[in-house]
Each structure stands twice: as structure tokens, then as C-alpha cells.
Structure 1
Amino acid sequence: MLKFLTLKPEAFGLDISDLSLKIVKLKKKRGVFSLASYGEEKINPGLIKGGEIKDEEALVKIIKNALAKVQGEKLETKYVVASLPEEKAFLQVIQMPRLSEEDLKSAVIYEAENYIPLPIEEVYLDSQIVPPVYNQLPERSEGGRRTNVLRPDHLDVLIAALPKKTVDPYISCLKKANLKPLALEIESLAIARALIKNETTDSPVLLIDLGETRTGFVVFSGHSLRFTSSVPVCSQSFTEIISKALKVNLAEAEKLKIEYGLQTDAKEKGSQVFEALIPALSDLIEQIKRYLSYYQTHASHEHLLPDGKGVAKILLCGGGANLKGLPEFLNTYFKIPVEIGNPWINILPEPQKEVLELPLEKSLSYATALGLALRGVRE
């Protein structure tokens, strides 16, 4: 069939995490994106654990219920771009010799076995070539003459793999919910699509996704992810710490967390909240230090800034990013800009950062779903 007669189906984004799922459908009119539909549904604890689906039938019911209750326009499409659990993914940038496209594919599969701690036949493997950051930077001047940045003698290839035993239940649930998976991708890819303007940077950026059950770290540079990881430090654990330290129930602890955050100049109660969170915050800071140091020492020279420095900025997203005073608190430790991310940056015209239905504070927890939805209208 002729390409111009082929209609590509639009898809909505479906972000499935351990404790909730979120839906976003975008629409495009005259080249401008807008929000068409959105929704959120809680998932009972234990139904999904560490990214592993434990009860398919229960999850299918929740998905169907969420689809029926979306706010905004009714979902007419059955096509979906869904997330896969970050904590189960193996993601690595590897260096490969410059080969033909066909030879490179087979060589990547062979080389990937050295990085993936599972037999290659037990995982789904995907890869893409990523250009070095230096190739995206302006030419530099040396001794009054302009010089091109050195062209690396290798290719950088991003490989991503997930165990089939993890992925297959997600596919099964989507199909049982009468959906047609157009694409599945790990959360960090969707988050980067949502937060990085035009999906390109001329300096490395650390994305920190403070979710309900874990915090994800993503280093993005040039046109691609360079590194991802996650730790169990999370927004929910902050609430539990406050509850235990101040001897209040979880609902009250959540209110205190939202009201005071990390504002040390607040009332006495605010100081108590801050003091209770110090051990968890110290842990978070140490984790961030580790990943900043890892990238600085492991990134090839062509992926760092011309002055040899590593990450130049930190962007926060996820519901936990709403913690008052968090950007300022992190900035005092790392001495680099720390900002609340804008998950609408590739959707809405600047300087707009929110829509009436999803204000920025709420949108931060929708970053993955928005990134998935953006792919859904581009596929």
C-alpha cells in the first residue's frame, strides 16, 4: 500500500506502576498538541510488586475500570503505548566498532551478552545508535582557527533489555483489557521525552523521578539516555518516617509533609518534620552523589562538557518533587541548578507549564504517562 494512504493509529499513554496507573491521551490539531483525556486509578498493594505482576485478572479489571472512567474525551482508540518497570530493565551504553547496519545488529546481540545478567534468549532486547555529545556542540577555536571536534572511532549503542517473564504478563493484561499495544518502553525513556526540550541537550542532565515506591535516576545527554538506576527511597517512605517520628497516622503525616516539606524556617511542627526526614534525605543525597560520580568517571570524554565537567543540571519530577524546599535543599549540596521539571515542555507552547485539568503539581506525577502519550501521537 502507498505510504500516503496508510493511516497510523493514534495511541494513548498508560503508565503502570506498583500502586497506581495513569492514562493520558493527547490530540494534535494544526500541528498543536493538547490534552484530550486523562485518568488515574489506584492499584492495591501487592498486586504488582517490584514491577512484577502478581495477579493478572485483578490488574485487567483495574485497567478496564480506569479506561471507562477517563476524564475529558472518551477514549475511542484501542492502541496503547505502555510503560515497563524501570527496576527490571537492563540499560547500558556500549561501544561498538563502526560496522554496516546489518553487521552491527548481530554484533550488538553478541556483545550484549557481556552486560545482561540473563541468557539472551530469556530477554527482549532493543538497541539504538546514540551520537556523542561533542557532535552536538559548536566548533571550538584553537590558536585563532576553528577546529572540528574529533570524530570518535567507535559507535555508541544504547541497549535495553527486560526479562520476558516480566514483559509477557504486561502484554497479556493489555490484550485481556481489549487493548492493542503499539509500543512498550521503560519508564526512563518516557520521562526523558516528557522533560527534555526537543529531546536533546548540549550538556548532561540528571532527571530524578521521586515516585510512590522508589526514586529513579536518569542521566540524559545529547540525544539519549546514558545511565539509569533506581533506589527504594521514595515519597511514601517520607510519609511513613514522619508518621513514626511524630506519632501521627499516615493521613496526618501526609498532610504535614505537604504543608511543611523541608522549610526549616516554618513553625515548630515544620522543624520536627524536617528533622525527622534528615536521615532519609541524607540517604537520597548519598545516592545522587554516587550516580553523579559514576557518570563523571565512566562517561567517555566525548560525553562530557568541554571543560571536563559532568552533569550540569538536575530536573525533578514525580509526585515527590512537590516537597517544599527540595530544589533549594539539593542545590546547597550539589552547587548546580536544581529545577522542577516541566512535563509539558514538548507538548504545550512556552511558557505554558500546565493545563486547567492537570496543574503542574499534579502533572509531575504524570510525567511518564505524558511521555508515553507523546510517543502515541508520533508513532
Structure 2
Amino acid sequence: MIILKCRDIINILENEAPLKLQEDYDNSGLQWGNPEDPVQKVLVCLDFTPDALRNAVENKVQLVISHHPVLFRPLRTINTAAGKGAMIAECIKNDISVYSLHTNFDTADNGLNEYLAKTLELQDITGLKKHYRDDLYKLVVFVPEESLQKVQKAIFDAGGGYIGNYSDCSFSAPGTGTFRPLEGSNPYIGQTGIFEKVKEYRLEVLVPEGKLRDVVKNMLEAHPYEEVAYDIYHVEQPGHEYSLGRIGTLREKLSCDEFVLHVKEKLNVHNVRTVGRIQDAEIQRVAVFCGSFDGDVKVLKDKNVDALVTGDLKYHTAQELEDAGIFTVDAGHYHTEKLFIKAISDILKNRLKDVIIVEHYGNDIFDFR
């Protein structure tokens, strides 16, 4: 059985949802704990509450992954007898680390908004609103002919070579490389002190900023040369775009009442708030925005959205949505984001065979009477 460390799981999570994607106000990442601690059990929850902590202690987990950060605002004091201070003390006593993925996971390609859109059975899903765009780089490396495919594969495996919806994209051209191994060198080809000419290929690959370090590392490990000749250029063309929210289409058009029933069924929620009612409405183009809607009604109008599903709505924003003719279902913060638990569990179960996942759903903070 392979014993993983906390940092191994953090690396998986941050590969899925890089911390650079989080909003400025957010505090995603390691809340407390030791990244070098071994992990055999993980608890996944929406909110790390005292109830979630009891579950973690009872199940003897070493790592808790929550959606909402526990340390959202700075602590001025830590009272270990009550509140967050008591939870921190209990975690330290039981060797429990806590890690949170919040707005970075909302925005990630396969993150929470994507999961919400798929749960509602939307098709042709695209981003709603640009949030972040990767810088793009071009890696150029010179490779001996017999090693070209090996180095290409290493680069592709680390995330290089994507252009839009195409993967494994590269360009290579043959040429002649020259070098003279000096004293103390250990050349792959040639002899010390002798001028050499070698058939090489110039290999060019586009790499997003977030993958550059791993791509270069993989390339160097796969390359046969002791000293590798390579260049990295910043590219002006836009890189990969990450979006707030998602847009998709329903298989068939629904009336307002039919759409509400559809949302309730797919999210397993009994009560929702709605805004607007369009006579003889036919809803097909739907936007989703998990948790709190950011209030940008204009982007919904520009994208010709028929309906919005979100989890938190302010009164005056609701008025704007009604004025814009956008039928809106507020299914509650909890019910649009409880999907986080299954989403993270699926990611970890697909990547890790030796870690036990405990799912803690908790309850909606609101009661309906």
C-alpha cells in the first residue's frame, strides 16, 4: 500500500483548480496542517463545521477538504476553548490538516459550475464570463533525431501542446547541431575535445503558464543530453480562458413551471425562490452560477440567456433580472454547492486507489417553515 503525503493530494487539487484562479477576497489553500504528514483517509465537506470535525475525528481522517475556507477572515485571537480556536486545537491534537478550494474550484474547467451545469443536464456547455486568461509560452528545444518522440511525449504528458480543442500539437524541423565536449563533460554523443556535428530536430510546443514548470521538468528528464539547449518565449496571443459561471442548452424547451420542477429534481431540493414569469415561456438557453450570483445581469442579456440558476440573490439584482426578462431560480447556496462533495470525491477516487474518502454533506443552514 502506497502511503501518500498531504502535499501529494494538494498537488492533485491545485492541478485541477490552480490557486491563481481564486478571487482577490478569497482564502483558498491550506488552512492549517503539515503538508508532509501521511494521509490514508480524507473527509470532503462543503463547510468545516463542528459536526464535520466530529465526523473527521470518529473516522480518524488525516486531511479535510472543504469548499468554503475555514479561515476566511483573519483571526485576531485563538481561544482554544470555543469557536474556530477550539476546532484548530482539536485538529492539531488529532493530526488533521484542513485544505479549502473555493472560488478557484468554482472557476476551474472541470470545477463546480461545470458540475452544476452537467447535473442540470445542460448540453453544449461554455463559459459565461471571462475571469482569467493564462499567459502563453513557446518552448523550443533541440533534440537528437532518435529521441524526438520520447521528448515530445514527455512534454505532452505534462500539459504542453494544447491549441484550443486540439492536444499533442507541436512543430519539428530537422537541422544540424554543433558542439565540442570540454574536459569534465559526459557527452551523450561524441568525445571530449572533438568538434561534433549531429542531426537534430528543432521542436516547438505551446505551453500555458501554469504548466510551464512541469513541462520543462518532464522535458529535461526525457532528454538524453547532459546540457539541454532550449528557449522559452512569451507569446502575445491569448492563452486558455477560465470563466465565471457556465451557459448550456436543455435538450428540449421547458415552461417556467417545468423548468422549476427540473431544477428541484436534479438538485434534490424541495423549496426554491423564483424571479419573473414569462407568459408562454420556452426556456432552453440556461446560465448557472453556483453560490452567490455576482450581479452581472448585462452579460446574461448579451448572451441571450432564457433562465439563470444560482444559489444566492440580492433583492435589487432580482429586480434587474425580472426587468431583463430572465427567469431565475435561486435554489439556495447549499444546494448549488453541495455538489462539491461528489465532484472532489470523484476526482480523488479516479486518481488515488489507496486513500479512503469520507463524504460529509451536513445540512443547509436555512430551515423552511
Q: Same fold (TM over 0.5)?
A: no
Computing the radius of gyration from Cα coordinates, the structure with the larger value is 2
TM-score (norm 1): 0.27
More helix by share: 1
